[in-house]
Structure 1
């Protein structure tokens, strides 16, 4: 039963993406002259992604602490990464951030094209040159007042345990002296495993925005504080 539902659900996403992408192009064209940060397009994209969460009868999503994510001004958002649907549920924050995501997703028809329209940031794992370009791109976004969001683990966890964090997000926060906002994402690994696309039974997903951490001059201590904050939230009863 779940296998048949999963096939129908992913087919629905594939077909409906055509309509949503055409809408994104229209929004992009209409707002390009005055919306340099592409805030309106990002909010449209947030509604697009969130639609797939809220229409899925197997998933129930709750977002807390949304007010801690700024509407205006730069910040670095960091979240744990356990499932493909982390991206969908984080869009439900409905705040004008920019994604840092692996370059392969930018090659996906419609969804990847929309990511380029939004000026999101591609990254090739393990490529020093790509990391340099990613950091420079994030520098420009933060300087323009746009928050950026990253998965500091670098890839999805394979066993559910929080992995070590990489330095990039915290180097940006220190360089620009902007807050780091940790986000704990609960329940997505149970909703969709790392390998395979068969959805699981009813799952409650919780996106929990945690108190901002003011920038330090020490990348290592800032990284440790952010990881501790997310780890504590994930293990709380």
Structure 2
């Protein structure tokens, strides 16, 4: 039994070394490509849709080349190619980023400001015009809201993790108000996105990966904020309840059906 555990540990370690080596080398190559895409497309694509779709392929590459990571996306047709919307997703791991890029629709991420300092990945986030946020900093939150409003005014959706941080146990935590305040103020739909299985991709602490992951992305129907009459709390809890229910439904399915 101990020998089997040791062998599994060695395989995970080898798998992780290969993955992170490929990640580092490919990130340099793809960032150079992103600079070219940005320079060529910016004059006619001020909202950066082409660069974002390039970034989608970059992120999805790590799912494509990994035979042990599976991904399934359902409901993608509910996402707009153009027009304001606030996408909200639960958050299980850093792997959520790779998986959500698989939506292949234009949107701007709201992400921790520290992520923008990461070599290649963070620099590409800045090129894309994604929205930085310092958690717990009231001034930063205010700037983030203004930044998001400007993108929504230009007809560009945004994507936020309303839990604010990754869930330690996979259960959907309480939501913060920001995404729902934006939807009400800008009179645009909230589109819930439910993730399962991503916790086994990239760990919160450490660099040793799980060797297998079965990821499912479910896009739910848009929620119109108008019937909530400006009640942020009611809209927030309605959306969260929809997502909790859908996550439970998916997790109750046989593994082969996810």
Which of 127, 130, 154 is equivalent to 2:137? Answer: 127
How far apart, in 2, do the equivalents of 1:222 and 1:212 lie? 12
Equivalent residue for 1:93? Answer: 103
Equivalent residue for 2:238? Answer: 225
Measure how far apart 1:114 and its partner are: 0.5
Equivalent residue for 1:204? Answer: 214
Q: Is the 8 A contact 2:200 2:212 kept in 1?
A: no
How far apart, in 1, do the equivalents of 2:201 and 2:108 lie? 25
Q: Is the 8 A contact 1:100 1:123 kept in 2?
A: yes
Equivalent residue for 1:28? Answer: 38
How far apart, in 1, do the equivalents of 2:29 and 2:169 lie? 36
Measure how far apart 1:194 and its partner are: 2.4
Which of 18, 32, 41 is equivalent to 2:51? Answer: 41
Equivalent residue for 2:4? Answer: none
Equivalent residue for 2:65? Answer: 55
Task: Provide, for residues 162-205 of structure 1, a one-character-per-residue CA deviation record: whole Å limited to 9, x for no partner.
Answer: 11000000000000010000000010113333222212132210
Measure how far apart 1:147 and its partner are: 0.2
How far apart, in 2, do the equivalents of 1:202 and 1:5 lie? 10
How far apart, in 2, do the equivalents of 1:96 and 1:192 lie? 24
TM-score by length of 1: 0.98
Measure how far apart 1:75 and its partner are: 0.1
Q: Which runs of 5+ in 1 are unaligned?
A: none
How far apart, in 1, do the equivalents of 2:133 and 2:214 lie? 30
How far apart, in 2, do the equivalents of 1:136 and 1:84 lie? 26
How far apart, in 1, do the equivalents of 2:159 and 2:222 lie? 13
Q: Is the 8 A contact 1:54 1:61 kept in 2?
A: no
Identify which range, 202-211 or 85-94, moves more after superposition: 202-211
Which is richer in helix? Answer: 2
Change (3 A) 1:56 1:114: same
How far apart, in 1, do the equivalents of 2:29 and 2:190 lie? 35
Identify which range, 177-186 or 53-62, moves more after superposition: 53-62
How far apart, in 1, do the equivalents of 2:167 and 2:235 lie? 21
How far apart, in 1, do the equivalents of 2:184 and 2:58 lie? 33
Task: Provide, for residues 106-142 of structure 1, a one-character-per-residue CA deviation record: whole Å limited to 9, x for no partner.
Answer: 0001111100110000000000010000000001000
Q: Which runs of 5+ in 2 are unaligned?
A: 1-10, 253-258
What is the 5 A alignment of 1:33-182? Answer: 33-182=43-192
- Which structure: larger Rg? 2
Alignment RMSD: 0.9
